[in-house]
Amino acid sequence: MERVIQPPLVDTTACLCRVDAGLKTVAGAKKYVPGTKLCLQPDIKPSIHPTRSKPARGDRSRNQSPLLPGLPDDLAIACLIRVPRAEHRKLRLVCKRWYRLLAGNFFYSLRKNLGIAEEWIYIIKRDRDGKISWHAFDPIYQLWQPLPPVPKEYSEALGFGCAVLSGCHLYLFGGKDPLKGSMRRVIFYSARTNKWHRAPDMLRRRHFFGSCVINNCLYVAGGENEGIHRCLRSAEVYDPNKNRWSFISDMSTAMLPFIGVVYEGKWYLKGLGSHRQVLSEVYQPENDSWFPVYDGMVTGWKNPTASLNGSLYALECKDGCKLRVYDEVTDSWSKHIDSKMHLGNSRALEAAALVPLNGKLCIIRNNMSISLVDVSKSNDVDGATAEHLWETIAGRGQFKTLVTNLWSSLAGRNRLKSHIVHCQVLQA
């Protein structure tokens, strides 16, 4: 009896199976944006007795070689999905069938459903000359992985946004070009194909704005442009299911945000108003409304900040040696998770980002050193006995010893060569 292979239902809005075969550059992918299309399972030869009936006309699988010689395709895929993510770049080079398989949602949906998808840290840096570079870190093998260069429109841009949609698409949007000024440009990188693509432009030119992701939709608000009204109140949202941007309600006051976080389904922003006064607002997506907020959360709120498993965390000391936890009951940042290891106050050691990674909180410093904090176990200890919850990941930018830091400072060699602009986690 013939076995019927049904197309799987995938849990992401983007289907890249149809885009990468012929589009090699950002310019070539100009008309493509991710949308809600059914991602069909690639041509697979079943492992049970093949059909004896004549294949349908145009059936490509009849002349195709197996994915792995000697194995039916479904068993071959069961093997390939278990190959570590670090080797996927090489797998795409083997043949066209392997490339199409690894470019589509089917392959990575299987990895995610089986719990073997891997999260990598992506870091965007700016050097002393203003040039943008970016790096990917594999926390399992503790290695930095090669990446394609950032598209030229963002190689020197200032004040642009960065966010992740569908778990595997890294978006860069807006910002200020040194020559052309404020931009509406939006591009995205796919961790599954290791390529950049073009997405629809934002509705308003802006730079140094706030951004967040709620329910896989990208929100931006405030910021500046170079028109008559430099400080903006406007806000907009990008829905990848509809492939378009839409305006949402304006903020209560024009703002230049410098910190933001999503907490309990709401977007909190803190920044400077038109007269350089400190403002705080919260956006509720369910009723599309903004309103000022003055509670203890925003009063003691510092950057970097991250939300994980319903709790809100912020870094206390400059090098990220202590985590503060927001307590809703007391409306204060009273609880601490202390590493008991203060590294110093140099700009190189300054904590630039705080992101969730595999159920832990990840602290990234400007010297590319990375620490993990297992906050899931923090309820069982107090701040004085929490050192064992901290872990340093070996990689580029290892921690210097106190003696080395001291001599480096005295010798004047501790200048900041580059600093981190954005940090995100992508899964594949």
Q: For the chain, where do the domains classified as CATH 2.120.10.80 start and end? A: 119-427
Supply the pTM of this predicted model.
0.83
Please compute the mean of the pLDDT values over residues 23-50 and round it to a whole number. 43
Q: Strand, coil or helix: what is 163?
A: strand
Please compute the mean of the pLDDT values over residues 141-158 and round it to a whole number. 94
Confidence of residue 48 (pLDDT cuts 50, 70, 90): very low
Residue 28 neighbours by CB distance under 10 Å:
15
Residue 27 reports pLDDT greater than 50: no
Please compute the mean of the pLDDT values over residues 366-378 and round it to a whole number. 92
- Over residues 315-325, the pLDDT tens digits come to 999 999 999 99
Full strand arrangement of the beta sheet holding 278-284: 256-263, 266-272, 278-284, 289-292
Which pLDDT does position 334 carry in this prediction?
A: 86
Which residues are paired to 134 by β-bridges? Answer: 124
Q: How far is CA 114 from the centre of its chain?
A: 22
Of residues 1 and 20, more confidently modeled: 1
Which pLDDT does position 60 carry in this prediction?
A: 52
Taking a C-beta distance cutoff of 8 angstroms, is the pair 148, 196 a contact?
yes
CATH class of 119-427: mainly beta
Average pLDDT, the chain: 83
Which pLDDT does position 242 carry in this prediction?
A: 95
Residue 17 reports pLDDT greater than 80: no
Q: Strand, coil or helix: what is 375?
A: helix
- Over residues 189-226, the pLDDT tens digits come to 999 989 999 999 999 999 999 999 999 999 999 999 98
- Over residues 75-103, the pLDDT tens digits come to 999 999 999 999 999 999 999 999 999 98
